Structure 1
Amino acid sequence: MLHALTGGSAARTAWRSGFTGLAAILVAGACSQPSAPVAPAAETTAAAPADTAVLTQRGDPTRVGWNRHETVLTQATVADGRFGQRIAYPLDGAVYAQPLFVPGLHGHNAAIVATEHGSVYALDADAKGAARAPLWQRSLLPAGAKPVSASDDVKCESISPEVGVTGTPVIDPATNTLYVVATMHGQAGIVDRMYALDVSTGKDKLSPVTLSAAVAGSNSSNGKVRFDAAFEQQRVGLLLQDGVVYAAFSSYCSRMPYEGWILGYQAKDLRQAVVYTDNPDQGSSGRRPGGGGIWQSQTGLVGYQGSIFVTTGNGPYNLNQPGGRNAGMSLLRLVRDGGTLRVADAFTPFNVTCLNDHDQDLSSGAPLLLTGQGEVLEISKEGRIEVTKIDSLGGFHTIDAPCGHQDRTDVDQIVQELPIQTVAGGVWGAETTWTGGGRTYVYTAGVADKLTAWQLVDGKIVEPAASQAPEGLSYPGGIPVVSSNGDQPGTAVVWIVGNQAGGPVLRAYDPTDLRRELVHEKLTGYTNFTVPTVADGRVVVGTQQSVLIYGPL
């Protein structure tokens, strides 16, 4: 899902040149003997076009989830009965991170898959039939370490039975380096480590580093708030921006104490470059109740024109006060300021206290950048659609007794605000957008809703919805993506993995009429917040113990 940027020509140019560079590096590498095992019976295949690469979560740093370079999968080719599962690879753990796609790796187009057992695999994405040996496989666990036990170590089974790699890795095409964060239980207790792996071999390009941080704040008796991996869960996809790899953190089932952290490390040497927490001053001396987790249902940190956009969860808010640094329950635009991040702009809902009281945090959803309109759309557990400007998020405006007026949609000073439960059940995930035939749509998939297409006209959501799929969704809803061959008619397809009556299913729809289902493939397993990876005729889906690859049969 690449080149979803509809604004920022410099960013587009950088990504395009990066993909070309990656393809050249990997095709050249195919001529040399790889140092990691290659599937012995697999035939080499032509490298997929460089612009089909998926090197970061949802395709590019804006996380829009629209792949505009899909020439194989069209409405006709997926609906003619010749689309289905081509191969299933057994793995050593569950897959929560989105699989990535690398063209031309040792003569193969490869799916890069990370597991909660702390492993990373490079798999032949073109193979069919029986599973083959990995192109390479790498355990990130050093001697004596093991994955974190969800039930025993952190008392949180939102990801279970073990926690290893959750946040989607990111690949730097200029250096052929894959960056990944692994959580583990070793002699020093629970730690997070960042790795820089050679995409061609899986071997370390740099020595891994253990993540740590401390900032000045009143959430500790000694004036320092310290990052503690035993309470901070790394779920959000990694962001590579301006030479820094960023990882964000939330909590393990709101176990105290915790804050929302963003830690950045230099891509060239893994030296720490940025430390930021959105909740440094909450507690009184000796007390750290916690709050402000950044999880976004695992959607990656959003990068755009040098800024980072995030939503934060339940926690204290005082950005409207002089010197205030607590940024819970907010949409933030952050910019780098030396060794930290600075809140350059923010939007906080008028009913923030009510949201905090009822665990209705914004960070269940991720920001959707509508760059063509210069807007940001976000939806939280409330199911309220809020649209604001990228360069003017809206600040904070409230009224007396806001909890008695939560039906109001005219208090927040933003572009558009629709009522609570516009998206039934709220959103645990991310939206996507697509423009075709002169119309722009936004696709939502709420927890107690159906996949829904909303038309966007003059920068505002039009009610009622343009179309809706007939199938209902259950928790956690779904995270849709779109593939198309540019603007060519009949090539656009909406893809979603949903946990529905009868079990989990990979589905595809006509984006102009969601009543028209194109693909219905029952899955053998399922993990929450699954994002299908669509690349050059393949649809890659991670499950509890495997990765499944679909395509033309």
Structure 2
Amino acid sequence: MKFILFGFLGAILSSTLFNDVWAVSIAQRAGNNFRTAANNQEFTLNKSNVNPSNFGLLRIHDFNAKVETQPLVVEKGAGGDDLVIITTMKNEVIGINARTNARVYNVKLGPEISSEDMDMWKHTPTWGISATPIVDPATNTLYVASWQKKNNDNRFRDYWVYALNPLDGSQKASPVRIFGKSQEGNGCWFNDAGAVYTQNNQTRQYVYPKLRAGMALTENNGLVMAFAANGESLMGGRKNPHGFVVAYDTRGLLGQGGVSREPAIFCATSFNSWGAGIWHAGGAPVTEGEMIYVATSNGTSNNGDVDLAESMIKLRFKPGSGGARPLLEKVDYYKAFLDERVSGSGCLWQDNNSEVSCGRAGVGSAGADWDFGAAGPMLVPGSSLLLQGTKDGIIYSLDKFNLGKNDRFNALMSKPPLVASYYGGDVNQNWDRVQHLNRSLPCPAVGNSDHGWFVPCGDPENNKMHHIHALALAQRNQTGGIVYVWGENSRLKTYNFSTLGGELPTFRAEGEDVASLGVESPGGMPGGLLMVSGKPSTTSSFPHAIDFGTAILWAVYPKFGDVNKEFGEGQLVAYDATTIEPGNRMKRLFRTGDDHNGGLGKMSRMIPPVVANGKVYVMIYRLNTGDCTVPDNQLKVCSQLKVYGLK
């Protein structure tokens, strides 16, 4: 049997008889629209053959540009072979034959941007395609968002959305430029309506939102993009950029008559506020039916529903009728951090004295970088359980039908929430650490102050916030399974998780390896980036359930250092996803090397491993190689695809 899983619905889309071989396509970030980072259609790799004797590096493929997006795999997309799709920061879309390593096509969409004013750590020489594309199996269309220099002038930049044939990279319709006014009436413009200004004889656009989260699709023809708020005040940009969600009707993008090609635009804060960027460590929004879930990060917030920094936001995509522009309708939200009564210095425009939380500015030794949206959300299939990993080291468990709005505690489905990077077997210990880590939860010993504001419970315990940038799920059946998380400066942790009300998560086991060994927490991004593989369950008919007897947890993690601020040595590791060994340890099956013998190479900062049809695809960086072409005076950073499998 041949099984095709494109990931749009995270379930069976079609199956046909073909040489009695099962195969799978990984067509979007984290494998499916629920973002479980799980492939339960892997029939080649298993716990018995993934070991140093049988499994290892098969081939490499070099790129003369930096890659910041997850590889996609189209099953039998290159004749009888799988097609691997890579997009680069030089606005290239590249198709590679997974067996022969030959390039099937190489398409350049437009001029990339030199990033001298957008690269805080000075190691991203150009910006182009920075968000993982998506394949829509219903129309066999690859959607790509490309950030391009305008009129050959690096001061001006536009985003363009392309609809391509994934098999050859050809355009299926003309691209569209992302541009327009937010529909909430809060004064936000994407790309500031093309506005420019002149200062010190330099003419610039005001703000350049960055698209870092992967692209997503809704069931009702919505193509969804979520933008980070990219502040460039030091380079002359406005100091209050915004997070945006932008969505198109795919029928319009493909040129269908009578369907609008304008975008729906949602702005996460008002014009005079700032932030609420959506980056998800590269993870895509969750989609289910017509609903969209995004998690925002640092910025302004208040007790209303306008400024939605540090929040989970639920939106509905509503296609336009009769050629009208589509709409993103705000349905619900949850605010994690509302425990400061005034903004920090320089947080808002001078004429804005709103009572806000401004990225938790200036509070204690933990600083202001709390990023509720540090990871992408994950919706447990077949349930109402929505999980969110954050920089405060907590996995929040929300009800998709009632996110909770300003109720930071009572609406959580697991009380206390899971403290992901600590031992979580003792509920009392777990609760104590939640109180120390997240000061926006009520402090039982003190209670609430006037006006219903929570009293802060003090700084995080020893200031150790093990930031979370990825989650994965091995689903046993519709009632639960195992959740995997690998926080910064920590080990891989696994927890038994239930979708049933009142059942608390319990600690299960942890891995051997420590991410960013020797780096003090917080720090040492990103921890482990995860994917689960295995066969379909033999005990459950639920389509997302995985066979625990074959399940493997794959991860890429930094051995040392911080691969966000610098270049750190990485490792690819495979663990038995379900077996518990003495001492609550997981069984390691394979690792690319140890501290004295090899390794993966320079780890790509936010790209998880991709497992499909007996192969594991991993991106790394290459530094200062002769074939790596970058703008003058920029660090020479390019990328390499490593392909692992059975020898």
TM-score by length of 1: 0.81
SS at match of 2:301: coil
1:299-378 superposed matches below 5 A: 299-318=283-302, 320-321=303-304, 324-337=305-318, 339-349=326-336, 351=338, 353=340, 356-357=360-361, 358-378=368-388
Cross-structure match for 1:519? 590
Cross-structure match for 1:445? 486
Higher alpha-carbon deviation: 377-386 or 54-63: 377-386
Cross-structure match for 2:228? 250
Cross-structure match for 1:240? 217
Displacement, 1:169?
0.4
Counterpart pick for 1:541 among 612, 618, 633: 618
1:209-224 superposed matches below 5 A: 209-215=176-182
SS at match of 2:49: helix
Displacement, 1:494?
0.2
Displacement, 1:423?
12
1:4–1:67 contact (8 Å) kept in structure 2: no
1:163-242 superposed matches below 5 A: 163-187=127-151, 189-215=156-182, 226=193, 230-241=207-218, 242=220
Displacement, 1:517?
0.9
Cross-structure match for 1:82? 54
Corresponding letter in the other structure for 2:401? D
Cross-structure match for 2:282? 298
Corresponding letter in the other structure for 2:591? H
2:183–2:264 contact (8 Å) kept in structure 1: no
Separation in 2, partners of 1:4, 1:119:
22
Separation in 2, partners of 1:403, 1:335:
32
Displacement, 1:372?
3.8
1:66–1:433 contact (8 Å) kept in structure 2: yes
Q: Does 1:119 align with 2:119?
A: no
2:223–2:249 contact (8 Å) kept in structure 1: yes
Are residues 396 and 219 of structure 1, via their aligned partners in 2, closer, same or farther at CA, if it must alter by over 3 Å? closer
Q: Does 1:110 align with 2:90?
A: no
Cross-structure match for 1:492? 551
Cross-structure match for 1:455? 496
1:35-114 superposed matches below 5 A: 49=22, 52-79=24-51, 81-105=53-77, 106-114=79-87
Separation in 1, partners of 2:68, 2:187:
33
Counterpart pick for 2:104 among 117, 124, 135: 135
Q: Deviations over 1:48-78 (max 9, x none)?
A: 745x111111111111111110110101111
Displacement, 1:223?
13
2:207–2:241 contact (8 Å) kept in structure 1: no
Displacement, 1:464?
5.9
SS at match of 1:75: coil
SS at match of 1:135: strand
SS at match of 1:268: helix
Separation in 2, partners of 1:494, 1:170:
24
Are residues 137 and 476 of structure 1, via their aligned partners in 2, closer, same or farther at CA, if it must alter by over 3 Å? same
Displacement, 1:379?
2.0
SS at match of 2:373: helix
2:66–2:88 contact (8 Å) kept in structure 1: yes
Q: CA RMSD in A?
A: 3.6
Separation in 2, partners of 1:452, 1:444:
5
Counterpart pick for 2:467 among 423, 427, 433: 427
SS at match of 1:269: helix
1:192–1:229 contact (8 Å) kept in structure 2: no
Separation in 2, partners of 1:89, 1:392:
46
1:424–1:447 contact (8 Å) kept in structure 2: no
1:262–1:276 contact (8 Å) kept in structure 2: yes
Cross-structure match for 1:508? 574
Point out where structure 1 has 5 or more consecutive residues left out of the alignment: 28-45, 284-288, 414-418
Q: Deviations over 1:215-264 (max 9, x none)?
A: 36787699996587952001010012221211111033675331111111
Corresponding letter in the other structure for 1:306? E
Which has the bigger relative contact order, CA under 8 A and spacing at least 6? 1
Point out where structure 2 has 5 or more consecutive residues left out of the alignment: 195-204, 234-238, 254-260, 321-325, 341-356, 362-367, 410-435, 453-458, 517-524, 538-546, 561-567, 593-598, 622-638
Separation in 2, partners of 1:223, 1:125:
38
Are residues 388 and 119 of structure 1, via their aligned partners in 2, closer, same or farther at CA, if it must alter by over 3 Å? same
Q: Deviations over 1:472-531 (max 9, x none)?
A: 113111221110101235310000110113820111101123531111112133211121
1:478–1:529 contact (8 Å) kept in structure 2: no
1:329–1:352 contact (8 Å) kept in structure 2: no
Separation in 1, partners of 2:587, 2:549:
13
Separation in 1, partners of 2:463, 2:172:
45
Displacement, 1:159?
6.5
Separation in 2, partners of 1:422, 1:452:
20
2:178–2:190 contact (8 Å) kept in structure 1: no
Q: Deviations over 1:432-487 (max 9, x none)?
A: 11134997211111112211101114457857621111211131112211101012
Separation in 2, partners of 1:245, 1:238:
7
1:4–1:66 contact (8 Å) kept in structure 2: no
Corresponding letter in the other structure for 1:329? E
Separation in 2, partners of 1:216, 1:96:
30
Corresponding letter in the other structure for 2:575? Y
TM-score by length of 2: 0.70
Cross-structure match for 2:609? 532
Q: Does 1:471 align with 2:513?
A: yes
Q: Deviations over 1:63-120 (max 9, x none)?
A: 1111110110101111262111111011121222110111112232111111112111
Separation in 2, partners of 1:194, 1:326:
27
Displacement, 1:408?
3.9
Corresponding letter in the other structure for 1:430? A
SS at match of 1:291: coil
Displacement, 1:148?
2.0
Are residues 219 and 547 of structure 1, via their aligned partners in 2, closer, same or farther at CA, if it must alter by over 3 Å? same
Separation in 2, partners of 1:222, 1:178:
27
1:297–1:366 contact (8 Å) kept in structure 2: yes
2:574–2:589 contact (8 Å) kept in structure 1: yes
Displacement, 1:153?
3.7
Separation in 2, partners of 1:254, 1:433:
37
Separation in 2, partners of 1:486, 1:404:
38
Counterpart pick for 1:259 among 212, 218, 242: 242
| Sequence identity percentage | 23
1:358-437 superposed matches below 5 A: 358-397=368-407, 405-406=439-440, 408=442, 425-436=465-476
Higher alpha-carbon deviation: 526-535 or 180-189: 180-189
Separation in 2, partners of 1:495, 1:251:
31
Are residues 259 and 226 of structure 1, via their aligned partners in 2, closer, same or farther at CA, if it must alter by over 3 Å? farther
Of structures 1 and 2, the larger Rg is shown by 2
